[in-house]
Structure 1
Amino acid sequence: MYKLMAIDIDDTLINDDKEVTPATQEALEKAVAKGVVVTLATGRAYASAQAIARQTGLNVPIITYQGALVKNLMDEKVLYERYVPYEAGKKLYDFCIKNNLHLQTYIDDKLYAREENQKLIDYATLNGTQYHIEPDFEKLLSKQTPKFLIIDSPEYLDEISPVLRELLGDGVHITKSKPHFLEIMHKEGTKGAALTFLAGHFGCDLSETIACGDSWNDHEMLEAAGLGVAMGNAIAPLKEIADYVTASNNEDGIKQVIDKFILNAE
């Protein structure tokens, strides 16, 4: 019997219209009624993720910033947090200045960038997030952040990823949440580490957990979970490591997982 289910938001829980369908909503409610802890696991900021969690009626800790922050929905108590090491942030900033890259960060759940540009505007629109401009970006580096994000072409991000891994060292975790989003967190700021923490928090074994996602930033939690589920619209490498591939996010793939493995499970 599965006791904990972690679901990615974008292209997983919500469809391409950015909605949780009534059918999926009903399935979530039935899973919760059966005693399963249903949570979200997202690269989004807490403020952005909590709006969706509240809309779906969830009332549990949620995994945000790829796993760098786990926070209760009700009292907003922080249960787990990992910040990007200062030295890594400084090296990353210098690299982005030198190569004229768009870099953004989050301080106290607020999105900051050095200048306003189309990349920032498009990102903020996509996530329904407000943003703040800080021309003196260096002064933000001394503050604690769960995540830095570089936005550029998928090909260029693939090119600089190994360079950044070498430059920043093994104290950070670097992943892609979308083809054109490269995200940099603390090495323990992964969805897999956060799922492991939450399983312990709720007193269940990892074998009793389900994780659902569509992108490579979900692979740690799919590998950690007892049942790793890739969406029908997931990238091919994720489907290859998944235990089960469900329908797409536009075909109520999450509902299918809940029906099969929670509601109909003996």
Structure 2
Amino acid sequence: MTQYKLIAIDIDDTLINDEKEVTPGVQQALEQAVAKDVVVTLATGRAYASAQKIARQTGLNVPIITYQGALIKNLLDEKVLYERFVPMDAARKLFDYCLEHDLHLQTYIDDKLYAREENQKLIDYCALNKTPYYVEPDFAKMIHQPTPKMLIIDEPDYLDELIPIFQELVGDQMHITKSKPHFLEFMHKEGTKGHALTFLANHFGCKLEETIAIGDSWNDHEMLECAGLGVAMGNAIQPLKDIADYVTASNNEDGVKQVIEQFVLNQD
């Protein structure tokens, strides 16, 4: 049986339940895995500032994967291990398109969230992630600063119609994914959770076959595909379940705990 050495866990709808909490059962499983010298990390679309709060609450002290994989940063000394910025030319094309079609676009600079105007989409997004935001009417100047991620918020069906357009416009330069039905996210081509998991496995000197990746959304598929054991949550979208090696219980039923017990602690 494989001895897994590294576990990468998505945060929203995976590690945390619908009340946005890490349950005592999941917390105990994380601690038991760490006690067995397994590296437990987070892999999230969230900004580092938001993700690190959860990581610290759960007692983790390793590098974490943020911005879909565009930034890996140590929790202990906040040293950047891996960073990929959105190409400037692609950022400009995306900005111009969003301006022309009145789409809500936000960007992240030095771990701060910026938008062109305050609207309900921005307010709701920041309430969801408990993230402060900054409004910059002269948004064009923000586009010329390095960013790990840009994000459009809109209705899921409309975003699905836009994806082929953006693939044509910037797909050769950007990794485009949905983290949630309403969120369309844009990173560097190497800003994926799969690239980040590969980097961390190498960093910790373990093989990809010795890694576990757990997630619920399509933005998790790259890491599930490259991990030794790709796990979809019980509440995951069907396409992710279809490619997973294993489907666990939902985020409200301690699905992460079940995975750790079965595959790391070897408890059925």
| Secondary structure at the counterpart of residue 264 of structure 2 | helix
Partner of 1:18: 20
What is the TM-score when the length of structure 1 is the normalising length?
0.99
Q: Return the offset for 1:141.
A: 1.2
| Bigger shift: residues 163-172 or 4-13 | 163-172
Letter in 2 for 1:82: R
Q: Does 1:176 align with 2:186?
A: no
- Check if 1:113 corresponds to 2:119: no
Query: What is the aligned partner in structure 2 of residue 200 from structure 1?
Result: 202
Give deviations 1:147-206, integer Å, cap 9, x for gaps: 000000000000000100110131110000000000000000000000000000000000
**Offset of 1:41 from its aligned partner?**
0.1
Match in the other structure for 1:128: 130
1:243 corresponding residue in structure 2: 245
C-alpha distance after superposition, 1:210-244 (max 9, x if no partner): 00000000000000100000000000000000000
Partner Cα distance (1:257, 1:214) in 2: 14
Aligned pairs for 1:129-144 (under 5 A) are: 129-144=131-146
Aligned position for 2:165? 163
Q: Does 1:224 align with 2:223?
A: no
Partner of 1:263, secondary structure, is: coil
Aligned length: 266
Letter in 2 for 1:69: L
Q: CA deviation at 1:142?
A: 1.3
Q: Deviations over 1:43-86 (max 9, x none)?
A: 00000000000000000000000000000001000000000000
1:41 maps to 43
Letter of the aligned partner of 1:194 in structure 2? A
Deviates more, 1:163-172 or 1:213-222: 163-172
Q: Extract structure 1 runs of 4+ deviating beyond 6 A.
A: none
User: Equivalent residue of 2:13, what SS?
Assistant: helix
SS at match of 2:52: helix
- Equivalents in 2 of 1:81, 1:92: separation in Å? 21
Q: Scaled by the length of structure 2, what TM-score is found? A: 0.98
Give distance in 1, aligned partners of 2:170 and 2:19: 37
Query: Within 2, Cα distance between the matches of 1:141 and 1:122?
Result: 23
Three-state SS of the structure 1 residue aligned to 2:61 is: coil
Match of 1:259 in 2: 261
| Aligned residue among 94, 101, 104 for 1:102 | 104
CA distance in 1, matches of 2:71, 2:228: 22
| Identity over aligned pairs, percent | 78
Return the alpha-carbon distance in structure 2 between the equivalents of residues 250 and 105 of structure 1: 31
1:262 & 1:220 partners in 2: Cα distance? 22
Q: RMSD of the TM alignment (CA)?
A: 0.9
Counterpart of 2:216 in structure 1 is 214
Query: Equivalent residue of 1:62, what SS?
Result: strand
One-letter amino acid matched to 1:40? L
Aligned mates of 1:174, 1:168 — CA distance in 2: 9
Q: Distance in 1 between the 2:13 and 2:42 partners?
A: 13
Structure 1: gaps spanning 5 or more residues: none
Which residue pairs with 1:32 in the alignment?
34
What residue is the counterpart of 2:78 in the other structure? Answer: 76
Opposite residue 181 of structure 2, the aligned amino acid is: P
AA partner of residue 12 (structure 1): T
Distance 2:138 2:30 in 1: 44
SS at match of 1:19: coil
